Amino acid sequence: MGVLLEVQDVTKTFGSLVALDRVSLSVEERKLTILIGPNGSGKTTLINVVSGFYKADKGKILYQGEDITGLPPHRVYRKGIARTFQIPALFWKLTVLENLVAAEKNHPGESFVRSVFKSAWEGAETQATEKALRILELLGLAGAWNSEASKLSGGQMKLVEIGRALMSDARILLLDEPVSGVNPTLAHEIFTKLVRLRDELGVTFLIVEHRLDIALDYVDYVQAMAYGRMISGGDPKVVMKDPKVIDAYLGG
Ligand SMILES: Nc1ncnc2c1ncn2[C@@H]1O[C@H](COP(=O)(O)OP(=O)(O)OP(=O)(O)O)[C@@H](O)[C@H]1O
Ligand SMILES: [Mg+2]
């Protein structure tokens, strides 16, 4: 086991605002790492830079040792890095199953030329459907496969987003607040499922989350940010006692 994703000295500014100030971070393979920090500390910006949605002004992103700095989002995605959004971005009129199938990385529907060969397309569609059903089973969502996305509970929407990310065969998932607004029981269930995905499929997680009361029971590592800087990182028990972390939350 080693480092799967490495952020090296990344800076990102918006005008005069320094959202990320020389941020470095190593994400270990097959571990759950949580990224914490007060509102506006730069957590989502970091996810946006790693996933290619924003370009870093300075610094490097390495994935499996390969420099992926500046790649556009679809190329980052194809490398095996998938993300979810702070506010779920689903196809609201489609069913749960359709949402997953539409997220398949090699879905031939993306390619006009291949979609002309209807039989090939149908074969791939069946495969994608089978895969989607397996993922829904893993997430405990199989019973809702035919529900329209807009009719789901907040917690189920979060799970569908995770399911969509898994359809790409991602090796690492970047989750932006997977349990925000979700009731405690379901929030614990979601984290239990993430642990299962780590253990059974070997998925690596970098998770932004404010709900520390829930998340800390499940994570391997904590990274803490404040004012665009990485201020602490490592074992959850150690990081949560770090005076810099306590200050960041209490000092405001
Ligand atoms: N696209 C943008 N344009 C201008 N400023 C931005 C943009 N995205 C983020 N920012 C600013 O960068 C800073 C970091 O924002 P970011 O969303 O990364 O924080 P966060 O840690 O995710 O906060 P929260 O916990 O509230 O989600 C904030 O001051 C925010 O206003
Ligand atoms: Mg955020």
How many folded domains does the chain comprise? 1
How far apart are the CA of 176 and the centre of ligand 2, in A? 7
The residue whose C-alpha atom lies closest to atom 29 belonging to ligand 1 is 40
How far apart are the CA of 244 and the centre of ligand 2, in A? 20
Alpha carbons within 13 angstroms on the beta-carbon side of residue 34 total: 26
Burial of 166: CB neighbours in 10 Å, binned 0-12, 13-18, 19+: buried
pLDDT at 169: 85
Report CA-CA distances (Å) from 73 to 18, 112, 252. 22, 21, 33
User: 41 CB less than 6 Å from ligand 1?
Assistant: yes
Ligand nearest to the CA of 42: 1
pLDDT at 121: 55
Determine the structural domain holding residue 171 and report its residue range: 3-251
User: 37 CB less than 6 Å from ligand 1?
Assistant: yes
Q: What is the CATH number of the domain that holds 124?
A: 3.40.50.300
Q: Tell the residue number behind the tokens 């932006």, with chain if given.
A: 176
User: 14 CB less than 6 Å from ligand 1?
Assistant: yes
User: 40 CB less than 6 Å from ligand 1?
Assistant: yes
pLDDT at 252: 54
State the Cα–Cα distance between residues 252 and 152, nearest whole angstrom.
36
The tens-digit pLDDT sequence of the chain (252 residues) is: 699 999 999 999 999 999 999 999 999 999 999 999 999 999 999 999 999 999 999 999 999 999 999 999 989 998 999 998 878 889 999 999 999 998 885 554 444 444 555 555 566 678 889 999 999 999 999 999 999 999 999 889 999 999 999 998 899 999 999 999 889 999 999 999 999 999 988 999 999 999 999 999 999 999 999 999 999 999 999 999 999 999 998 775
